[in-house]
Chain A
Amino acid sequence: MKMYRIFTVIAVVLMITTINVNAQDNQAEELMKKAHLALFYSADDGAAEVTMKIVNSKGKERLREFTMLRLDVEEGGRQDYYTYFKKPHDVSRLTFMVHKIPFETDNRWLYIPAVDLVKRISADDKNSSFVGSDFTYEDVSGRHWSEDQHTILREDKLGDRAVYVIESVPKEKYKGFARKVTYVDKGHFLPLKEEYYNKKDELERVFTAERVEEIEGIQTATLRKMENIRKKQYTTVEFTSIEYNLGMKESIFTERYLKNPPREFIK
């Protein structure tokens, strides 16, 4: 009888703990969703000049300059991206377009003007490097929050900002990371830092929002850095001339404009 009571107590305690954990999980997922929307879905559309600096372990720098357009077809869902390369010389005038469809394979197109070639690109591997940088395609367009299991580890400070520290573990086996720790700003919910761990739980890559500015009333990470710890190299991405809510239409993100850059947005 006594035994029975003990079991009951244990069972009740376990249940309460589980409920508590679930509530916490929901809060963690809600925070990660907010972080995702703050970083990847600000406003309805956006345009920016981007300067990407890739620095290898010997300190050698490479620069990429491009204009990037983004349209949110659904908030938190489908998105269209358009990239017009300016530098270096061998990719200048090249355009690249992505129709991002969460949980499905993206559609990607590349237009090489020197040969007037529209190429469709197989987009199976989202962990491929984006134009030779430390950012992957997925880092550029985001990984849907519901693909990972999130847990709030603690509340903390990062510099002078109050943050939630959240751990994310992929629900299904995933080669991008085994575990990710995100520092989400308590004020504007931008992820200020992300640590990516591999299967052996070694820190592989670190993302940091180096500079956050308010643009048209929207908190925007205008300088971002991805450091590859193992390769001892890093890439910074700086966004300038940012404009939001330009009234872009889906028709911009078609083959017609891939071949004829929309000059009202791209100078």
Chain B
Amino acid sequence: MLKAIGFTALMSLMIMVSTGNAGETYITGFMQGLYGGGLDADNPTESEMTASEARLQLRLESFSDAAEVFGRLDFVYDDYYQPSYDWELREGYVKFRLGNKIDFKIGRQIITWGTGDLIFINDLFAKDYRSFFSGRDDQYLKAPQNALRGAYYSPVGAFSLIFTPRFTPNRIPTGERLSYFSPLAGAIVGGEENYFEGRLPKAKFKNSEIAGRFSRYFGSIDAAVYFYRGFYKNPTGLDMVEMTAYYPRLYVYGASLRMPLLGGIGWLESGYYDSRDDSDGDNPLIPNSSLNSMIGFERQINSNLTANVQYQNEYMIDHDVYSANLPETMVEMDEVYQLMTTRLTQLLWMETVTVSAFGFYSPSEEDFYGRFSISYKYTDALTLAVGANIFDGNDEWTDFGAFKKNDNAYVKMTYGF
């Protein structure tokens, strides 16, 4: 119902904008087939296919000098173990300028900020790890949020404020196509009986999300400070009474720097995660407050090869208190979580072929996640891609170890128009 109202409203807006002004309207999009198979024989999911879907995306764009309306609508036919049709409004917003200094973007939108490459510290906007792990295009890593975004530009810097009335969590593997580690079951689980959803905070004003950023340039250095008031985006809290997972309250304060460095680009970002429901750090069922930092560097190796490296460090604030209150049955988390990543992108044949590898490795948790892909633009319209997602870990309860039965390889074909 809500979807229908939103869709109708968007369409009418688009018609209004496109007919009311001497603006321009464009319709573009693509069709895509994605098929992925699991590489692990013992994955406890219903289907051995990690993806089998046909997708049509329509983009409608209409603008005049005063305002811009944009819609991106996906229709998906998914033949999981029973075929189903679905659609999602990926984006549907109106954007306008108010005077010289204020911009607004209102509606369903994808939001990103921060400096990391696939590491997010101050970016607490919704991500879609189900898409990310199963070979969908990069644009699906970000899940849309229904939000109101305002930005004020002054000579001192730019201030952005994003208000999301209804908390929008990350989309994480929940046992359908991808299995996950259940702390309640103490094992990697999947399949219909284990489909799981975290309990969302009630739809109240006080449960909305607010994110802010102030950014400015100092020469060629861009600096920013951030804040966030909302909830952990993954259901990291455990409710032992109702035997369910939920999203604990979270405030984040952070800062970042990004600059040209040694012929490349370097970045530095940090955020203090204030776990509001566990401010003393004595509740082992809720994440402890932490200081989350990263440093990264990217540069071209040669004209067609680009490489980057990142190091992330998450320091638990009250590890002693957490440790003292931890029941013996639960696994103790390290005081310091560390993650290293590297990305290599090689372009070939006049940039028609892209070979890409991205590796995440955590020396503290001893787990690994690798993303590999080769794509070939046969024509401007037609792209063929193959790829693989490989997980490994010594333990099942670590970030990537939890998905170690989801190794998959996929083929993807996209026709754009």
* B29 CB, min distance to chain A CBs, angstroms: 8
Task: Check: A6 CB closer than 8 A to any chain B CB.
Answer: no
| Residue of B whose beta carbon sits closest to that of A64 | B380
Is B306's CB under 8 angstroms from A122's CB?
yes
Which residues between 241 and 267 of chain A lie within 8 Å of chain B, taking CB atoms?
A: 255-256, 260, 263-264, 267
Q: Report B347-367 residues with CB < 8 Å from chain A CB.
A: 347, 350-352
Q: Which residue of A lies closest to B66 (CB)?
A: A263
A147, B59: Cα distance in complex, Å: 46
**Quick one: which of A115, A233, A264 contacts B110, CB cutoff 8 A?**
A115
- A87–B417 alpha-carbon span in the complex (Å): 9
Interface residue SS majority, chain B: strand
Q: Which of B110, B258, B298, B380 contacts A62 (CB 8 A)?
A: B380
B380 and A107 contact, CB distance less than 8 A: no
- Counting chain B CB atoms within 10 Å of each CB, the highest count among A120, A233, A255 belongs to A120
Residue contact A92 to B304, C-beta cutoff 8 Å: no
Residues of A within 8 A of B265 (CB): 120-122
Residues of B within 8 A of A125 (CB): 300, 302-303
- Whether the pair B153, A115 counts as a contact (CB closer than 8 A) is no
Closest to B378 in A: A60
Please state if A115 and B141 are interface contacts (CB–CB under 8 Å): yes
Given A105-B263, A115-B112, decide whether A128 and B300 contact each other with a Cβ distance below 8 A. Answer: yes
Task: Check if A122 sits within 8 Å of B65, measured CB to CB.
Answer: no
A90-B416, A256-B103, A256-B151 known; A129 and B351 CB under 8 Å? yes
Does A63 touch B at the CB level, under 8 Å?
yes
Which residue from A114, A115, A123, A264 sits with its C-beta under 8 Å from B65?
A264
Give the distance in Å from the alpha carbon of A51 to the alpha carbon of B264 in the complex.
30
B260 contacts A122, C-beta separation under 8 Å: yes
Residue B30 is within 8 A (CB to CB) of chain A in the complex: yes
Does any Cβ of A come within 8 Å of B158's Cβ? yes
Q: Which residue of B lies closest to A175 (CB)?
A: B303
Check A89–B417 contact: CB distance below 8 A.
yes
Closest residue of chain B to A233 (Cβ to Cβ) is: B350
Judge whether A214 is part of the interface by a CB distance below 8 angstroms.
no
- For A118, the chain B residues whose CB sits under 8 A away are 112-113
Report if A124 contacts B (CB, 8 A): yes
The residue that B61 contacts in the complex, of A87, A93, A123, with Cβ under 8 A, is: A93
The yes or no answer to A38 lying at the interface (CB within 8 A) is: no
Complex formed: what's the CA distance from A146 to B311 in Å?
Answer: 41
Question: Residue A267 contacts which of B24, B264, B380, B414 (CB distance < 8 angstroms)?
Answer: B24
CA distance A105 to B142 in the complex (A): 32
- Chain A residue numbers with a CB within 8 Å of B303 are 125, 127-129
Docked-complex contact B304 and A128, CB < 8 angstroms: yes
* A117 interface contact, C-beta 8 A: yes
Of B138, B379, B417, the contact of A115 (CB 8 Å cutoff): B138
Contacting pair A132 B351 (CB below 8 A): yes
Count chain B residues whose beta carbon lies closer than 8 angstroms to a beta carbon of A. 53
B240-263 vs A, Cβ < 8 Å mask (1 yes, 0 no): 000000000000000000101001
Interface pair A124/B300, CB less than 8 Å apart: yes
- Say whether A88 faces chain B, with CB atoms less than 8 Å apart: yes
Q: CB-CB contacts of A223-242 with B at 8 A, as 1s and 0s? A: 00000000001000000000
Q: Which residues of A contact B122 (CB under 8 A)?
A: none
Q: Are A63 and B110 in contact (CB under 8 A)?
A: no
Selected from A89, A127, A264, the residue in CB contact (under 8 A) with B30 is A89
CB of B350 within 8 A of CB of A122, answer no
User: Does chain B have a CB within 8 A of A37?
Assistant: no
Chain A, range 74-122, C-beta contacts under 8 Å to B: 87-90, 92-93, 105, 107, 114-118, 120-122
Per-position binary interface string of chain A over residues 126-141, scored 1 when its CB falls under 8 Å from any chain B CB and 0 otherwise: 0111011100000000
Give the residues in chain A near B64, CB-CB below 8 Å: 263
**B110 A114 Cβ-Cβ under 8 A:** yes
| CA gap between A116 and B260 in the complex, in Å | 21
Given contact pairs A107-B220, A128-B303, A264-B65, A115 touches B381 in the complex (Cβ within 8 A) = no
Is B314 among interface residues, defined by CB-CB distance under 8 A? Answer: no
- The interface residues of chain A lying within 8 Å CB-to-CB of B215 are 255
Indicate whether B50 reaches chain A with its CB closer than 8 angstroms.
no
B12 within 8 A of A: no
> A124 is contacted by which of B299, B381, B414 (Cβ under 8 Å)?
B299
Please judge, given known A-B contacts A90-B383, A124-B263, whether A263 and B63 are in contact too, CB under 8 Å: yes
Which one of A87, A105, A118 has the greatest number of beta carbons of chain B within 10 Å? A118
B153 touches A256 (CB 8 A): yes
Q: Answer yes or no: A56 CB below 8 A from chain B CBs.
A: yes
Question: Does A54 reach chain B (CB closer than 8 Å)?
Answer: yes
Option from B28, B142, B380 in Cβ contact (under 8 Å) with A63: B380
How long is the Cα–Cα vector from A260 to B380 in the complex, in angstroms? 25
Flag whether B19 is at the interface (Cβ < 8 A): no
B139 within 8 A of A: yes
Q: Assuming A90-B416, A114-B110, A122-B299, what are 13 further A-B pairs, CB within 8 angstroms?
A: A90-B414, A92-B28, A116-B111, A118-B113, A120-B265, A122-B260, A123-B260, A125-B303, A129-B350, A133-B350, A255-B158, A256-B153, A263-B64
Q: Could you name 25 residue pairs across A and B whose Cβ atoms are closer than 8 Å?
A: A54-B350, A88-B381, A89-B28, A89-B380, A89-B417, A90-B30, A90-B414, A90-B416, A114-B110, A115-B110, A115-B142, A118-B112, A122-B260, A122-B263, A122-B265, A122-B300, A125-B300, A125-B302, A125-B303, A131-B351, A255-B222, A260-B97, A260-B103, A263-B64, A264-B65
A residues in contact (CB < 8 Å) with B: 54, 56, 60, 62-63, 87-90, 92-93, 105, 107, 114-118, 120-125, 127-129, 131-133, 233, 255-256, 260, 263-264, 267
